[in-house]
Each structure stands twice: as structure tokens, then as C-alpha cells.
Structure 1
Amino acid sequence: MPSCPRCDAPVDDEARYCAQCGAPQTEDAAEELDEYVQRQAEQVSGGGGGGGSDGGGSDGSDAFPSKEDLTDREQLWRRGSYVLGYGTVVVALTRVPAAESWPLILGGIAILPPIRRLTAEPLGSPLKREVMAGIYAVFALIGIALFVLLP
């Protein structure tokens, strides 16, 4: 009985994949796995299968262009949103029992770029960047006000 080259587990002669670690055992299985991974990567990155439905506009109303299609300004916005959102959530989590932490957590979540994707379907279109920043600002101001006003 042959063994898997990755984990040395025993593998059946006709097995296409290792039952222990999932490594492909034949050349066909390896090619099939590579194609599957490519398709999944394209779906996750938003770069494939849409038939050109991403508008690529720089006004924030685009339909999620792939990372390669983003301008430097849009990439900076996305990176800044992640830093600001996760930073706010982390700071708020340090004060969780306090009342001001909950608006800060909501604000941090609201500014994260994936929220645009999540809200696009029920709302009919993605939120503009300015709207996301406004929602963040409202929640952050409420959280800061509660921090100042409550003992």
C-alpha cells in the first residue's frame, strides 16, 4: 500500500486524495485542485465571473472592483478604513462593560469595507464611502460623549 508524500499516511491505490491530509495523489487531482483554488480566489477577490459588472468608478458607488482595479486613493481609503475600524473595535473592547464601548464597536464595524458588500443586497446598492464615514462619526461621537458624561 503506498503512502502519502505529504503526511506518510497509508493511501489506497485508487485514491485521488489523501484521506488524512487531503493532498492530491495523482497529477489529475493536483490540476483539479489548482483549478478549484483559482476559481475560489477569483470569487473572493471579486475579480472574476461578474461579466464586467464592476463599474470601477471612483465616486464610491462602484460594484466592488478587484484590488487591481482600485486607484491609489481607493486603496488608501480601504486600508485606512480597516485600520480605523479594527482600531476602534479593539479600543472599545478594552472598555466592554462601560456603556460607551457599544457605540464605538458599532462605529468600528460600520467603517469596515466588507460592510459595503453586506449592505449592498438589502439596500439595492453599496453604501458610499462618505455615508460609511458619517455613520462611523455618529457612533464615535456618541461613544465619546458617553465616555465624557458617564462616570
Structure 2
Amino acid sequence: MKTCPRCESSIDDGARYCIDCGAPQTEPAAEELDEYVQRQAQQVAAESGGGAVGGSGGEGQTGGNGDSFASMAELTDREQLWRRGCYVAGYGTIVVALTLVPQIGAFPLILGGIAILPPIRRLTAEPLGSPLKREVMAGLYAILSLLGALLLVFL
């Protein structure tokens, strides 16, 4: 028996895919999986009217305001920096607020930390019709964080 290079679980010598993680174990299996993924991506793009697959059209998968629903490899350096900064600020604020939970000012801090996280933009896109702009999310973060800080100081 051999082990999967991805998850290191034991698999049969003739297995095409890992039974635990699904990683292809042979070149033909990898090519088959790649073709399947490409077909699925084209089908999703055709159904959503997104145009070109892979974001080569600039705004094809971005929602028009710089937050791509594609992988990090397809984002520009500035967009990657923005997204990483949002994660650091959001999760950092949430962690600090969780240490202060008994106090009333912690709750706006938690909401502010959640508001700036990039996945929240995607979650708000469906009910609102389009994702909120980065500036709106940063504004919500600033307002809620300031409100939380003021409540912590004065109460």
C-alpha cells in the first residue's frame, strides 16, 4: 500500500483517487479532474452570465468593486493586501472584544470585526443585489469600533 501525498492516508496501489481527501493519484486522474473542473466552471459562468472563466476580463468575477470571488492568485497585489488587512483587523478586533465580553462595549467591537471580514461582503451580496463596497465595510468597522471603544472608556 502507498500513502497519499496530500493527506498521507493509506491507499491501494491502483487507486486513482484518495478515498479520504479525493486527491488524484495518477496523471490521467488528475487530467480528468482538471477537465471536469473546467467544464463546471464554464457551466457556472454561462449560467451566471459571468463571461470569461478565470477573471481575465478584469471585472468578470469581481462584482465591480475590487473584491474578487476568485482565488487569491488571480487578485492584484493591492487587492490581496486589502483582503489580508481586513482579515487581520477583523479577527484581531474580535479576539480583543471576546476578552472584554462582560462589558457592554465589547458587542459593538465584535460586530465591527465581523463587518470588515471579506466573506461578509459575499454574504450580503445576495439579499442586497450586489456586494457592499469596501469603503462601506471599512466605514461600518470604524463606526462600530469607535462606538465600542467609547462605551468601554465611559461605562
TM over 0.5: yes
Match of 2:85 in 1: 80
| Gap runs ≥5 in structure 1 | none
Measured after TM superposition, the shift of residue 28 of structure 1 is 3.3
Cα deviation 1:89-134 (Å, max 9, x = unaligned):
1111111222221111110110112211111111111111211111
Q: Give the TM-score normalised by the residue count of structure 2.
A: 0.65
Match of 1:29 in 2: 29
Alignment check: 8 A CA contact 1:110 1:135 kept: yes
Measure the CA separation in 2 of the matches of 1:145 and 1:55: 39
Larger gyration radius, structure 1 or structure 2? 1
User: Relative to structure 1, is the Cα distance of residues 91 and 31 closer, same or farther in structure 2, using a 3 angstrom cutoff?
Assistant: same
Question: Could you say what secondary structure the match of 1:64 adopts?
Answer: coil
Alignment check: 8 A CA contact 1:4 1:25 kept: no
Count residues with an aligned counterpart.
138
Match of 2:103 in 1: 98
Task: After superposing the two structures, state which structure 1 stretch, 64-73 or 93-102, moved more.
Answer: 64-73
Q: 1:149 corresponds to which letter in structure 2?
A: F
Measure the CA separation in 2 of the matches of 1:116 and 1:127: 6
| Gap runs ≥5 in structure 2 | none
Cα deviation 1:3-60 (Å, max 9, x = unaligned):
34547857497x6445467565655334334555x65xx97xxxx943147627xxx7
Q: Give the TM-score normalised by the residue count of structure 1.
A: 0.66
